[in-house]
Amino acid sequence: MTNRRLEQLARQHGTPVVVFDHQVIRRNYATFKRHLPRVQAYYAVKANPDVAILRTLYAAGASFDVASVAEFMLVYDLIKHLPPKEQQDYIWDKVIYANPTKPKATLEALDQYKPLVTYDNLNELKKIKQYAPHAGVVLRLRVPNTGSMVELSSKFGCDPGEAVDLVAAAFRLGLVVEGLSFHVGSQCTNFENFVQAINMAAAVMQEARSRGHEIKILDIGGGFPAAYNRHVKPFSALAKKIGAEIDRLFPADLQILAEPGRFLVATAATAVASIIGKAVRDGKTCYYIDDSVYHTFSGIIFDHCQYHLKAFKPGRTEICAVFGQTCDGLDTISQSEELPELEIEDLVYAENIGAYSNASATWFNGFPPAKVVHVNV
């Protein structure tokens, strides 16, 4: 999308505004499928649960990874027009509840759909058996998260050494272990994490097979990095490594799925904000914008992600600070941005802000989240 078009949309709708380009979403999905043809993409709804985004991915052929009943129902609303039998088939084949820890009320609500759910310990397994006995289960392994922007291995995943015992425990309880899963950490730029994790999963599958338990699914999780900057290696390089290991270690009939979230939506959105204040502090120009880390820029806090601001106005740049609109001192968007001399009501924008941004926005301080505009839907 051109800067001119982006500025027009901001003037038309007012700021703050987040513009999603669905052509980019479709292109990202096509890239994923082109480079990993054996892998079915289960979009991680938590990355951005906007219904318009879900519709675009559903139409493109995506499946869905959900982590709450509310997310499950968002997906279910997309498919409720299908005949009942097709709905059941879709849920079984196209939706995975990948949050390893679930309240009993969630399991009770999902059981009628015979869902695919994850677990990583015996207590969770017993809970599933009691409250969702019709579920198929997927065991989540703990794998290296070195070099990932958001580390997950300290919170989820069983030790590979206890994995086969947990597989056997599920079968003893009368549940069926459909698959293994892992997650290498969000925005994983260390591609060796994937290689190590795939090899660990292969070893667990082999041991399980030797004990009479055949596993049919491998879920390689998320972590596929979005191209936030030129330092992120191309997805094709990662896919080449993943594809080679999958082909080397697993039979052709093994079902492979993944949970891309950030990769599909991060680069599809741009946030536009207005300058609402300007001051000079300790010799540095400080700008205040009508958005904040409690709103579109929440990824700075929750996602360890830094979004760089640009201006539509040309001119020689200088180092400046940018703050959000709330009264909280935490609301600092950047202490070191390069922007030209700006005035009140000038516009700035941040690219690649489609994941874990407006999805976790709040109404803190009484300020509503930014308006969301969809183009090329």
Other residues' Cβ atoms within 10 Å of the Cβ of residue 81: 8
pLDDT at 151 over 70: no
Of residues 158, 188, 286, 327, which has the active-site annotation? 327
- Averaged pLDDT for residues 158-164: 95
Same domain for 345 and 211? no
Same domain for 126 and 260? yes
HSE-up of residue 206 (Cα within 13 Å, Cβ side): 9
Using the 3D structure, point to which of 250, 265, 280 is the last residue of a domain: 265
Same domain for 234 and 349? no
- Averaged pLDDT for residues 139-164: 85
Into how many domains does the chain fold? 2
Other residues' Cβ atoms within 10 Å of the Cβ of residue 152: 20
Same domain for 241 and 322? no
Using CA atoms, how far apart are residues 357 and 312, in angstroms rounded to an integer?
A: 22
- Averaged pLDDT for residues 290-301: 97
Same domain for 95 and 10? no
The overall average pLDDT reported for the chain is: 94
Using the 3D structure, point to which of 218, 248, 265 is the last residue of a domain: 265
The per-residue pLDDT for 123 is 97
Tell me, yes or no, if 320 is annotated catalytic: no
- Averaged pLDDT for residues 38-53: 97
- Averaged pLDDT for residues 227-244: 94
Same domain for 299 and 157? no
Same domain for 298 and 198? no
- Averaged pLDDT for residues 97-112: 96
State the CATH number of the domain containing residue 184: 3.20.20.10
Same domain for 255 and 152? yes
The verdict on pTM exceeding 0.75 is yes
Using the 3D structure, point to which of 212, 243, 265 is the last residue of a domain: 265
Helix axis angle, 84-94 relative to 69-79, nearest 10°?
Answer: 130
State the CATH number of the domain containing residue 331: 2.40.37.10
Same domain for 40 and 133? yes
The per-residue pLDDT for 255 is 95
**Assigned token pair, 49:** 């649960």
Buried b (16+ CB within 10 A) or exposed e, 90-124: bbeebbbbbbbebeeebbebbbebebbbbbbbeeb
The domain of 121 spans: 23-265
pLDDT digits (tens, 9 = 90+) for 310-354: 999 999 999 999 999 999 999 999 999 999 999 999 999 999 999
Element (H, E) at 64: strand 63-66
The per-residue pLDDT for 136 is 94
Same domain for 173 and 30? yes
Same domain for 314 and 240? no
Residues near 318 by beta carbon (within 8 Å), at least 6 away in sequence:
285, 338, 339, 340, 341
Same domain for 150 and 12? no
